[in-house]
């Protein structure tokens, strides 16, 4: 599938997965890829503490105001302004930010700041579980509806919290019979249930525990939340280097180098270790493919000091290569139930 078609399948892409597997890095790589393909991108961060700006070479953390992370955009972005093509902007949305905006949009600007600063949100969220998540998702829905960007990427919290976060709307829908909370929840459920508007992209590592967790999360997301799943991004994969099976002394002699016995032994041990890790990785990827019939896209493990703009370009290329290998849109994104039924 071509990259643009893939990225235009749904406006909102929620990037989710276990803590530390590379959700923020994948979000950044997707944003970089989409902007490179000429799309306008708005990244929504839910905590404001992620390494997203540094992946684009910017310092600082994300705040309520939008910042430009990529692209030739010298305007000072105001919330609600359309994002120019080929540009990545990012902002943070916390429940407090979202409540302030909600109240301001409903003619309550003057009281809104006082309410939030007095801790009213904490009182409300104790009384109505899930309201914090609905405020944030309601804001994401409003951004999607306002069509300010071709792609809205949500860097979701780690899996456990993400599951509560995404299921909050359904819970509130059951609890609230009428009123603004119910209509907000209903609209969020509608957004999550429409693959043309929203998909979840799960990120994992090619290791046993993260693979177990991603399989479980995929079923739970589909069964409990009814959200469409995109391909699984397998981050930090080791490359396949079959040459490592060669005898190091022979490989060295081919380029005119003679190894000592110690050097030969050390290189052979390093090569065997790497090949072993690669074969364990392959086993995990095969196991995941058996248990979860979602396409997999791999991103390489990069050595060095963190992920900056140069690394991001490499990761975006890897995503592009994986996307180009995919079949037609949403061909097999529904996982089988664990029992093997439909």
Contact residues for ligand ATP, defined by CB under 6 A = 19-25, 50-51, 158, 235-236, 299, 301-302, 306-307
Both structure tokens of 133: 């998540």
Chosen residue from 9, 10, 11, 24 binding Mg ion by CB under 5 A: 24
Pick the stretch among 16-24, 134-142, 237-245, 271-279 that binds Mg ion (CB under 5 A). 16-24
Nearest to 230 by CA among 284, 273, 287, 294: 294
Q: In whole angstroms, what is the distance from residue 40 CA to residue 271 CA?
A: 43
Identify the sign of the CA torsion 42, 19, 295, 330.
Answer: negative
Residue whose CB is less far from ligand ATP, 205 or 271: 205
Residue 179 contacts by C-beta under 8 Å, 6 or more apart in sequence? none
What are the DSSP E strand ranges found in the chain?
A: 12-17, 41-45, 67-70, 88-92, 151-158, 198-204, 228-229, 232-237, 296-300
Minimal distance, residue 59 CB to Mg ion, in Å: 17
Binding partner of residue 233 among ligand ATP, Mg ion, none, CB cut-off 5 to 8 Å per kind: none
The residue written with tokens 């097999």 in the block is 332
DSSP line for 96-126 = HHHHHHHHHHTT-HHHHHHHHHTTHHHHHHH
How many other CB atoms are there within 10 angstroms of residue 238's CB atom? 17
Binding partner of residue 306 among Mg ion, ligand ATP, none, CB cut-off 5 to 8 Å per kind: ligand ATP
Minimal distance, residue 249 CB to ligand ATP, in Å: 31
Residue whose CB is less far from Mg ion, 52 or 134: 52
Pick the stretch among 20-28, 37-45, 118-126, 210-218 that binds Mg ion (CB under 5 A). 20-28
- For residue 291, the Cα-to-chain-centroid distance in whole angstroms is 21
Residue whose CB is less far from ligand ATP, 50 or 112: 50
Minimal distance, residue 141 CB to ligand ATP, in Å: 23
Minimal distance, residue 24 CB to Mg ion, in Å: 3
Binding partner of residue 236 among ligand ATP, Mg ion, none, CB cut-off 5 to 8 Å per kind: ligand ATP
Burial bucket for residue 142 (CB in 10 Å: 0-12, 13-18, 19+): middle
Minimal distance, residue 20 CB to Mg ion, in Å: 8
Both structure tokens of 205: 């590592």
Q: How far, CA to CA in Å, does 44 sit from each of 29, 97, 152?
A: 14, 12, 7
**Which residue's beta carbon is nearest to the bound Mg ion?**
24
Nearest to 11 by CA among 155, 157, 183, 194: 194
Minimal distance, residue 27 CB to Mg ion, in Å: 8
Residue whose CB is less far from ligand ATP, 59 or 258: 59
Minimal distance, residue 22 CB to Mg ion, in Å: 8
Contact string 31-70 vs Mg ion (x = CB under 5 A): -------------------x--------------------
Minimal distance, residue 182 CB to ligand ATP, in Å: 31
Binding partner of residue 158 among Mg ion, ligand ATP, none, CB cut-off 5 to 8 Å per kind: ligand ATP
Nearest to 132 by CA among 170, 92, 94, 163: 94
Binding partner of residue 9 among Mg ion, ligand ATP, none, CB cut-off 5 to 8 Å per kind: none
Q: What pairing do the DSSP bridges indicate for beta strands 296-300 and 12-17? A: unpaired
Residue whose CB is less far from ligand ATP, 120 or 302: 302
Binding site for Mg ion (CB under 5 A): 23-24, 50
């Amino acid at each position: 599938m071509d990259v643009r078609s893939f990225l235009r399948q749904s406006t909102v892409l929620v990037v989710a997965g276990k803590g530390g597997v590379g959700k923020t890095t994948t979000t950044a790589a997707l944003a970089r890829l989409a902007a490179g393909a000429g799309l306008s991108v708005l990244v929504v961060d839910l905590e404001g503490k992620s390494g997203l700006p540094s992946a684009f070479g910017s310092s600082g953390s994300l705040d309520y105001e939008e910042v430009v992370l990529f692209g030739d955009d010298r305007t000072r972005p105001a919330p609600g302004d359309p994002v120019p093509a080929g540009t990545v902007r990012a902002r943070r949305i916390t429940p407090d930010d979202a409540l302030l905006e909600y109240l301001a949009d409903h003619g309550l600007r003057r009281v809104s700041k006082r309410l939030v600063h007095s801790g009213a949100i904490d009182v409300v969220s104790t009384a109505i579980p899930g309201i914090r998540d609905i405020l944030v998702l309601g804001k994401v829905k409003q951004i999607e509806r306002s069509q300010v960007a071709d792609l809205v990427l949500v860097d979701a919290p780690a899996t456990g919290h993400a599951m509560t976060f995404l299921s909050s709307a359904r819970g509130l829908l059951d609890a609230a019979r009428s009123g603004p909370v119910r209509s907000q929840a209903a609209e969020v459920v509608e957004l999550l249930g429409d693959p043309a508007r929203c998909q979840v992209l799960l990120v994992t590592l090619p290791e046993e525990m993260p693979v177990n967790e991603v399989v479980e999360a995929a079923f739970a997301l589909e069964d409990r939340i009814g959200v469409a799943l995109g391909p699984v991004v397998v981050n930090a994969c080791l490359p396949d280097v079959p040459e490592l099976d060669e005898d190091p002394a022979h490989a060295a002699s081919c380029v005119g180098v003679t190894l000592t016995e110690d050097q030969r032994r050390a290189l052979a041990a390093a090569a065997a270790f790497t090949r072993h890790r690669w074969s364990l990785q392959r086993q995990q990827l095969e196991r995941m493919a058996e248990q979860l019939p979602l396409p997999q896209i791999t991103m390489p493990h990069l050595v060095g000091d963190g992920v900056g703009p140069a690394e991001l370009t490499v990761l975006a290329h890897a995503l592009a290569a994986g996307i180009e290998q995919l079949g037609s849109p949403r061909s097999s994104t529904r996982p089988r139930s664990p029992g093997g039924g439909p």
